Amino acid sequence: MATGRTHRPATRSRGIPEATVARLPLYLRALTGLSERSVPTVSSEELAAAAGVNSAKLRKDFSYLGSYGTRGVGYDVEYLVYQISRELGLTQDWPVVIVGIGNLGAALANYGGFASRGFRVAALIDADPAMAGKPVAGIPVQHSDDLEKIISENGVSIGVIATPAGAAQPVCDRLVAAGVTSILNFAPTVLSVPEGVDVRKVDLSIELQILAFHEQRKAGEDAAAAEAADVVAPVVRGGAAVDRKGPDGDMPAVMPA
Amino acid sequence: MATGRTHRPATRSRGIPEATVARLPLYLRALTGLSERSVPTVSSEELAAAAGVNSAKLRKDFSYLGSYGTRGVGYDVEYLVYQISRELGLTQDWPVVIVGIGNLGAALANYGGFASRGFRVAALIDADPAMAGKPVAGIPVQHSDDLEKIISENGVSIGVIATPAGAAQPVCDRLVAAGVTSILNFAPTVLSVPEGVDVRKVDLSIELQILAFHEQRKAGEDAAAAEAADVVAPVVRGGAAVDRKGPDGDMPAVMPA
DNA sequence: CCATCTTTGTGCACGCGTTCACAAAGACAT
DNA sequence: ATGTCTTTGTGAACGCGTGCACAAAGATGG
Ligand SMILES: NC(=O)c1ccc[n+]([C@@H]2O[C@H](COP(=O)([O-])OP(=O)(O)OC[C@H]3O[C@@H](n4cnc5c(N)ncnc54)[C@H](O)[C@@H]3O)[C@@H](O)[C@H]2O)c1
Ligand SMILES: NC(=O)c1ccc[n+]([C@@H]2O[C@H](COP(=O)([O-])OP(=O)(O)OC[C@H]3O[C@@H](n4cnc5c(N)ncnc54)[C@H](O)[C@@H]3O)[C@@H](O)[C@H]2O)c1
């Protein structure tokens, strides 16, 4: 997904589908739970239920990693934990910096889920001079003037951005220039990065809006049954000064599913 | 749509693909920025660049909403803001409750991005008796004993779970029983919900693991790039108007559960 | 060893999403 | 009106992801 589109599936041949990669952490978490309860083996059916996915999908996902199961028995939990961890690169230590230690940044710094896997908070960085030296989650906050030095000295390749939206792109640019090649962005902005840098974003507002869309639909389904034949919806336009054609121009009342 | 295939095409809402719905908030944010700068119209090319997507994709997305553009000119910003807002259900007010007011829950409560759209924090709920009555972000925390009452009295249909993982499912069950039909889950757990309830999850740990995977792959490629020079392929695409390519920052970091 | 039973691994079909490419639509000038 | 120029809206092709269904593999029992 990230690179290589008009080329041969060079990365695809040995590569794992992006959708599968996104599910591996899910499997890993379920397997870790089983491991802690000393369960020796699991079937694809059981594990799929624990991870909340289809069992066929899980088996296909695992097939990209190799044949790690035993027919008639299932998968060895410990072995699979190791294989997935290795595939995800969690057998090594990943130093991470968090930039922007406000409400969210502080919460992230305090989050125990970082260290539970191979991630280590190498540094907390903020532009506010008043925060410099102040410990958050036991780690002293450093000023953003030293960002480049911090990145290079700690060999950081993963950065988390929790600054206000306006500061996100400049911070991103500095992180990338300093050598960071993976960014997790919490600021509600589209980040522009050069080729080879991965960006993933977490946007609470977008999630809520998606939920609202479906929520509206659920609420509208009841009313829709009543006024099913009502076609022309008198759209009340707020603020817009331009006159437009009405919606639902040639939309069939019932969509051909 | 999480699990279980109903007799109806639940995925195909009103002819609007799920992938399109997930991008509408992105367009809306870009349009809001243009609106604040009093830009009257935008072309699909400009707006697509601002939203970080392909212009053809944007046009196709908009085509699901209707024909709101003018050929040779582009789209009327204000009008489009209204249309997308209406489609997403943001013209109405959505009361939201946050359950689990710890580090993350408090950060969410303080987040201004809630009110910027039609979302309103109706209540903060926590199980810790010591927190009851204590104001967070100007809102007094209420005890979870009153959860059902709070939900019904405020007509809440969207709930945010920011409790520890172990408490997430019980909290979810209570929310759903009280009438909540959309849940945004921050706890690292697979939530089981009845038909008709939407769950979206935000999992920081998963995001980091996905980044780690690609990071590892990048590191491995560099090692192999020394001798296998044919693999590198400097992807120079002619005709593209983009100079600074934003690779794949638009991959949603949150997945429908 | 053979039979049976369980569960994996995967070939295959299908639907969704993305992208290209272009005709049609409208703005604007003459 | 007519022509040119810009940009939308969409048909069509393609690739990816998903889920079904089943043969193969191995365990287990006699
Ligand atoms: N709080 C949430 O729940 C939440 C949810 C979703 C998204 N977000 C987004 O996350 C970001 C942070 O949210 P917050 O509530 O923590 O905001 P905040 O204002 O509490 O914290 C922002 C911090 O970033 C620092 N900062 C500003 N510019 C900086 C720079 N150039 N370099 C380094 N540090 C800088 C500030 O000093 C401050 O400490 C915002 O973009 C917000 O929209 C927050
Ligand atoms: N902090 C982060 O950055 C972060 C990031 C990703 C995920 N998470 C997840 O979000 C959740 C919250 O994280 P946190 O750091 O805020 O934890 P936290 O311990 O600071 O806060 C948890 C809060 O939930 C409350 N609580 C516990 N049981 C409850 C119940 N049954 N009903 C209502 N409230 C209850 C607790 O009293 C506490 O106030 C955790 O599941 C965590 O894994 C946190």
Ligand 2: lining residues by beta carbon, under 6 Å? A 107-108, 110-111, 113; B 99-105, 125-128, 144, 162-165, 167, 171, 186-188, 204
Q: Tally the residues of chain A.
A: 257
Helices (H), A37-157: 44-51, 55-65, 77-88, 103-110, 113-116, 147-154
What pLDDT sits at residue A1? Answer: 34
Task: Kindly state if the Cβ of A69 falls inside 6 Å of ligand 1.
Answer: no
Residues A73 and A27 in one domain: yes
- State residue A106's pLDDT score: 97
Q: What sign does the dihedral B152-B157-B161-B165 (CA atoms) show? A: positive
Nearest CA among A1, A16, A104, A53 for reference residue B256: A53
Evaluate if the CB of B9 falls below 7 Å from strand C: yes
CA of B147 to the centre of ligand 2 (A): 17
What span, in angstroms and rounded, lies between the C-alpha atoms of A69 and A54? Answer: 17
Residue A182 near chain B (CB below 8 Å): yes
Tokens of B208: 């980091």
Say whether residue A216 is in contact with chain B using an 8 A CB cutoff. Answer: yes
In the DSSP assignment, the letter for residue B257 is: -
**Helix, strand and coil in chain A, % to nearest 5:** 45, 15, 40
Q: How far is the CA of A248 from the C1' of D13 (A)?
A: 28
Which residue type occupies A235? Answer: V
Residue that is last in its domain, among B186, B202, B218: B202
Same domain? For A161 and A104 the reply is yes
Report the pLDDT value the prediction gives residue B117, as an integer from 0 to 100: 79
- Identify whether the C-beta of residue B106 lies closer than 8 Å to the C-beta of residue A107: yes
Please report whether residue B246 resides in a domain: no
Whose C1' is closest to the CA of B53: which nucleotide? C18
Domain count, chain B: 3
Residue stretches of chain B with pLDDT short of 70: 1-14, 222, 224-257
Is the beta carbon of A129 within 6 A of some atom in ligand 1?
Answer: no
Whether A244 is covered by a domain: the verdict is no
Q: Is residue B242 in a domain?
A: no
Q: Are both B73 and B136 inside the same structural domain?
A: no
Residue B135 CB neighbour total at 10 angstroms: 10
Query: Same domain, yes or no, for A145 and A198?
Result: yes
- Per-residue CA distances from B49 to A127, A175, A192, A226, B245 (Å): 29, 22, 10, 42, 10
| Ligand number, closest to the Cα atom of B186 | 2
Q: Decide if A96 contacts A111 (C-beta within 8 A).
A: no
Contact B66 A248 (CB under 8 A): yes
CB proximity list for B175: less than 8 A, separation 6 or greater: B97, B99, B147, B151, B159, B161, B183
CATH code of the domain covering residue A20: 1.10.10.10
CA end-to-end span of chain A: 29
Residue nearest to nucleotide C18 (CA to C1'): B57
10-residue mean pLDDT series, chain A (257 residues):
33 76 98 97 98 98 96 97 97 97 97 87 98 97 98 98 98 98 98 97 97 94 56 37 34 27
Q: Does the beta-carbon distance from B28 to A201 stay under 8 Å?
A: no
Residues in chain B: 257
Nearest residue for C27, CA–C1': B72
Residue A89 amino acid letter: G
User: How much is the pLDDT for B184?
Assistant: 98
CA B26 / C1′ D9 distance in Å: 21
Question: Which contacts qualify for B216-223: CB closer than 8 Å, 24 or more apart?
Answer: B216/A88, B216/A89, B216/A92, B217/A15, B217/A89, B218/A181, B218/A196
Ligand nearest to the CA of B134: 2
Residue A227: per-residue pLDDT: 55
For residues A70 and A143, state if they share a domain.
no
Task: Indicate whether B126 and B183 sit together in one domain.
Answer: yes
Q: Are residues A22 and A39 in the same domain?
A: yes
How many angstroms separate the CA of B34 from the C1' of D3?
Answer: 34
In short, whether A204's Cβ falls inside 6 Å of ligand 1 is yes
The whole domain housing B145 covers: 94-202
Tell me, in angstroms, the distance from the centre of ligand 2 to residue B185's CA: 11
Three-class DSSP labels, B113-166: HHHHCCEEEEEEEECCHHHCCCEECCEEEEEHHHHHHHHHHHCCCEEEECCCHH
CA of A63: nearest nucleotide by C1' is: C9
Which residue from A20, A23, A49 is spatially nearest to A34, judged by alpha carbons? A49
Same domain, A157 and A193: yes
B155 inside domain: yes
Entry pTM? 0.88
Is residue A251 one of the residues assigned to a domain? no
Residues within 8 A of A (CB atoms), B 26-55 only: 26, 28-30, 50-52
Given B37, B62, B87, which residue is the final one in a domain?
A: B87
Residue A99 three-state SS: strand
Whether B174 and B226 map to the same domain: the answer is: no
Q: Are residues B174 and B116 in the same domain?
A: yes
Could you tell me if A41 and A60 lie in one domain? yes
Which B positions 123-142 lie with beta carbon below 8 A of chain A? none
Flag whether B220 is in a domain: yes
**B90 vs A51, A111, A212: nearest CB:** A212
Q: Which residues contact B250 (CB under 8 A, 6 or more apart)?
A: A190, A201, B23, B26, B52, B53
CA–C1' gap, B58 and D11, in angstroms:
17
In order of B74, B114, B132, the CA distances from B126 in angstroms are: 49, 19, 7
Asked whether residue B218 is assigned to any structural domain, the reply reads yes
Distance A98 CA to ligand 1 centre (A): 11
Question: Nearest by CB to B208, which of A119, A214, A255?
Answer: A119
| Residue A105 marked as a ligand binder | yes
Q: How is the beta sheet containing B135-136 ordered, strand by strand?
A: B135-136, B139-143, B119-126, B94-99, B158-161, B182-185, B198-201, B255-256
Q: Which amino acid is at B52?
A: G
Same domain, A121 and A193: yes
Q: Quick check: B255 CB within 7 A of strand C?
A: no
Contact A22 B255 (CB under 8 A): yes
Which ligand sits closest to the CA of B175?
2
Closest-CA residue of chain B to A101: B107
Ligand-binding annotation for A69, yes or no, is: no
How close B103 comes to chain A (CA, Å)? Answer: 5
A207 at interface of B, judged by CB pairs closer than 8 A: yes
Residue B146 belongs to a domain:
yes
* Among B39, B61, B87, residue at a domain's last position: B87
